[in-house]
Amino acid sequence: MSLPPHLDGFTVLDFSSVGPASRCSRILADYGATVIKVSPPPRKGSVQIQPPYFAYSAHRGMKRVQIDLKAPDGKAAFLRLAAAADVVIESFRPGVMDRLGIGYEDVRRVNQRIVYCSTSGYGQNGPYSQWAGHDLNYLALGGYLACTGPRNDGGPPIPGATVADSAAGGMHAAIAILAALIRRNATSKGEYLDVSVAEGVLSLMSLHLDRYLATGEKPCPGYDILTGRYACYDTYQARDGKWLSVAAIEPAFWANLCKALGLEALIPHQTEDARQDEIRAALREAFARRDRDDWVRELAPRSTCVVPVYSVPDLVEDPQFLSRNVFVQAEHEEHGVFRQLGPVLAGTDRTRSTYPVRSGSVTDTDELLRAVGIGEQEMERMRSEEIVA
């Protein structure tokens, strides 16, 4: 007999359309929570960003409710939903939810057990709390960019993934929510969570921050083994123009690599600063003799910490990922069948191969509001007044 999903029976009201909060609700949905996306009716919602149909896994498995929260009846309807929910997630500027009358204290009055998570760029207070921002801003403020190798023009790089949104924000929020739900089991009380994405970046940067705070040594690109100081931790181009990632930090792995490349003489000099240019040149010359995938077939099984640098088209056909069922099919009523990343975090369900996904115009408003006691006559009135859709 299979176990139910981890978060089966938990209901999440999510106000976000993009960004860290949507990353968080995606995680919670993949663990089995019932996630309800809350948005304004179309007439009221022109300001809200609408992501492409395929983004955030096409919101598979989620429900939608459209309510005008500026209307008194709309606010009252939302509070009925919140009274029966476990989690509220919002990502507006600090103070917006309070001004709407649906902030933490408003929700807590109808539901003492609510876990209310506000995600923002810089936190709910402090001199930067009202600043606008996006992923690149949070990585800049948190020191991530300054510790990453420069572009050709010498400036900080543009990362190839939204690290702040996904890890410093979305995973940060999900971890905090899960911890709060566990504590609620013991106390029967919910709590307010102030998730600052910039502070999540600090958590990702903890190795560098703790070193500087303890020793005064300033981290920067090429400062230590993890930021490119040594040739054993770098990328190298193969004969076919494709690239390899080498991360042979431990001496045993470094020795295995050097032996496989016929560079045994370099083994004792792995971390000698004066010889790094020489070692890099030797590795470049060696890797340039064969194509990338030839090197991977030979080196990866020999404990050398060598893997290919993949493009996205490369990785979606990789046998390792395919063997672990990380990609699934989505069946969209308008866009047809397409592949997408399935639930991949540990403990999520990987047994399904196909997920139905719906158009963004489809809502569950009637079903959800009826479930919290709003009658048909009241629903019709609110719909005619465009309070709900």
The Cα 264–Cα 258 span in angstroms is 5
Three-state SS letters, 272-300: CHHHHHHHHHHHHHHHCCCCHHHHHHHHH
Residues ≥6 apart with Cβ < 8 Å to 204: 142, 144, 163, 167, 168
Active-site residue, from 73, 106, 134, 366: 134
- Asked whether the beta carbons of 106 and 13 are under 8 A apart, the reply is no
208 is catalytic: no
Which amino acid, 281? Answer: A
Strand runs labelled E in the chain? 11-14, 34-39, 63-66, 87-90, 115-120, 191-196, 233-237, 243-247, 306-308, 327-332, 336-341, 354-357
The Cα 299–Cα 293 span in angstroms is 10
The Cα 197–Cα 24 span in angstroms is 12
Q: What DSSP element (H or E) covers 340?
A: strand 336-341
165 is catalytic: yes
Active-site residue, from 165, 208, 234, 332: 165
Both tokens of 273, joined, read 């600063």
Q: Which residues are catalytic?
A: 134, 165
